[in-house]
Amino acid sequence: MIRFVGAGFALRAVLRKFFLHYHPRPMTRSPKPTTLAEPRPLRLYLDTSVFGGVYDNEFKEASNMLFDKIKAGKFVCIYSRATATICNADFLISWNFKHIVNVFRIKNYNSVNMQNGYKSLDIRSPKEVIYD
């Protein structure tokens, strides 16, 4: 059971009702793992430029290496930019250096995420994630 510490009885009831409305799954704590679990694969949102990179001589090698790692199960694809934020994607991957992988734009994207209560999203090129 989730406890809302420091809130009055009426406020706790309202918070619990709100939480149950938006999170209908059971409110129980999962037991602490007794053994180390295998790390989950990184979740990546792939911008359309990464798919196009397969056909571009400049980006072909890195794009193909990235898709090979996805096929091998090292990465999991997330198919929507909004879903990437909401599902806590580890990285947004793009070859679009003008509009997406741009230090000034990244700052703006992440300020919107933070204002809406989401974590910042790490935005990188495929070359930065394909090497172990």
Q: Is residue 101 part of a domain?
A: yes
Q: Is residue 5 part of a domain?
A: no
**Mean pLDDT, residues 9-27:** 52
Domain count, the chain: 1
Look up the pTM and report it.
0.61
Q: Is residue 13 part of a domain?
A: no
pLDDT of residue 27: 46
Q: Is residue 49 part of a domain?
A: yes
Residue 45 β-bridge partners: 78, 92
* Burial class of residue 63, CB neighbours in 10 A (0-12, 13-18, 19+): buried
- Determine the structural domain holding residue 79 and report its residue range: 42-128
Q: Is residue 35 part of a domain?
A: no
Structure confidence at residue 58 as a pLDDT band (50, 70, 90): very high
Strand pairing of 91-93 and 75-78? unpaired
pLDDT of residue 62: 92
Q: Is residue 88 part of a domain?
A: yes
**Could you report the per-residue pLDDT of 70-119, keeping only the tens digit for each?**
888 888 888 777 778 888 888 888 888 887 888 888 888 888 888 888 88
